[in-house]
Amino acid sequence: MRFTDKGKAIELDETYTVEILTKFEKSKSHRLTSATVYRDYARWEFDTSFITQDEKVTNYVYVRKSGSLVVSADANAFAFDVGLSEIDKDAGRVAEVYDESYEALLAEFEQALQNYKETLPQADSVRAEIDVILNQFGVDSQAKLLQYDTDVQQAIADNQTAFNLAETGRQNTYEQAEDIRNQASNQALADWEQGAGELLSVKLSSIQSTADALLVQTVANFNTRADGAIGDKLIEFDTKTDQILSSVELAESLRVIAEQQRQIKIAQLEAQLEAQLEIINKLVMKQVVVMGVSWGRSSSPTLERIEVL
């Protein structure tokens, strides 16, 4: 890779750093790697171990010079398609290409670029972004609570349906047993009562077990989905909050550095001004002395010294 600035070639050397931000379009993962800098150009090779599936890869190039806080905007960008080999697909290899540290580094790069374009970030804009996150979290939480209420109501309705079925079955069984009892003798009645009681107990136990299992499974499934969704939103909120705080800290550090440089520049200018005033005073002193000598020759042999303040 070679670079130019306003048509003039940039002579790269060991004081330059060239970094490439690789973004995987489908998997939404990122990788930040460095190129090897040679005389007047840089060389970079794509690491194929990052490939996890067939997708498009976009690469953004950043150039930085040692000792300078300025990071270039996208000096260059290029894209290509990658594919996972059939051997890797059959073996089921999974490569971890998402790394939160690179995600945080990407956020720092983007924030640094934004700071140089728009100076320091305003507190109102940071607060507005936090408010958007909080509002979205409130909306998502309310939606989950509504879904939870809907699922609970559905579970109650399902349990009531199971109970109604059990009651209907019990009533039908009782009526059938009553008909048989009315038609049987005393011995048959005794036998029937024993058998009917056992049959009724077994049927009620089976129906109740089925209803309890259905209710437990429904509540467990809902709790699993609700806990996972809320947990994901909390993690997302914490991550974005940390990124915003890191950006504010970086902005404050840049402001302190700028103030220090301004103070140094003022001190240098004052020193230069004092030196120039000293030179002017000396020149004025010489001029006055010369004028005094000329005056003494023309009107008096006595030379008086004149102090210049």
**Within a domain: 236:** yes
Domain boundary among 201, 224, 248: 248
What own/partner pairs with CB < 8 Å and gap ≥ 24 does 233-239 have?
233/137, 233/140, 233/141, 237/133, 237/134, 237/137, 239/100
Looking at the structure of the chain, the number of domains it has is: 2
User: Are 81 and 30 in the same domain?
Assistant: yes
Q: What is the pLDDT of residue 81?
A: 92
**Within a domain: 299:** no
**pLDDT at 23 exceeding the cut of 90:** yes
CA distance 75 to 3: 8
User: Which pLDDT tens digit goes with each residue over 65-119?
Assistant: 876 655 565 678 889 999 887 776 665 544 444 455 557 767 887 887 777 666 6
Q: For the whole prediction, is pTM greater than 0.85?
A: no
User: Which pLDDT tens digit goes with each residue over 172-211?
Assistant: 887 887 887 777 667 766 777 787 778 878 887 888 888 7
HSE of 54 in the Cβ direction (CA atoms, 13 Å)? 4
Compute the C-alpha angle 34/39/45, nearest 5°: 30
Who has greater pLDDT, 124 or 77?
Answer: 77
User: Are 42 and 82 in the same domain?
Assistant: yes
**Within a domain: 138:** yes
**Within a domain: 105:** no
CA distance 93 to 242: 33
User: Which pLDDT tens digit goes with each residue over 129-153?
Assistant: 767 877 787 788 778 778 877 887 8
Domain boundary among 248, 276, 296: 248
Q: What is the pLDDT of residue 73?
A: 54
User: Are 156 and 50 in the same domain?
Assistant: no
**Within a domain: 277:** no
User: Which pLDDT tens digit goes with each residue over 24-80?
Assistant: 999 889 999 998 988 888 899 988 888 888 899 999 998 888 766 555 656 788 899
What is the largest distance, in Å, between two alpha-carbon atoms of the chain? 168
Taking Cα atoms as reference points, which of 237, 234, 247 lies closest to residue 104? 247
User: Are 80 and 142 in the same domain?
Assistant: no
**Within a domain: 273:** no
User: Are 166 and 237 in the same domain?
Assistant: yes
User: Are 95 and 130 in the same domain?
Assistant: no
What residue spans of 80-185 are helical by DSSP H? 86-91, 100-118, 123-183
User: Are 194 and 138 in the same domain?
Assistant: yes
Percent of the chain with pLDDT over 90: 7
In one letter, which amino acid is 278? E
User: Are 182 and 244 in the same domain?
Assistant: yes
CB 179 within 8 A of CB 189: no
Exposure of 224 by Cβ count < 10 A (0-12 exposed, 13-18 middle, 19+ buried)?
exposed
User: Are 137 and 239 in the same domain?
Assistant: yes
User: Are 152 and 83 in the same domain?
Assistant: no
**Within a domain: 167:** yes
Q: What is the pLDDT of residue 1?
A: 80
**Within a domain: 288:** no
Identify the CATH number of the domain in which residue 63 sits: 2.60.40
User: Are 132 and 95 in the same domain?
Assistant: no
Compute the C-alpha angle 13/19/20, nearest 5°: 135
User: Are 131 and 239 in the same domain?
Assistant: yes
Domain that holds residue 51: 4-99
Who has greater pLDDT, 277 or 114?
Answer: 277
Domain boundary among 222, 248, 274: 248
DSSP 156-169: HHHHHHHHHHHHHH
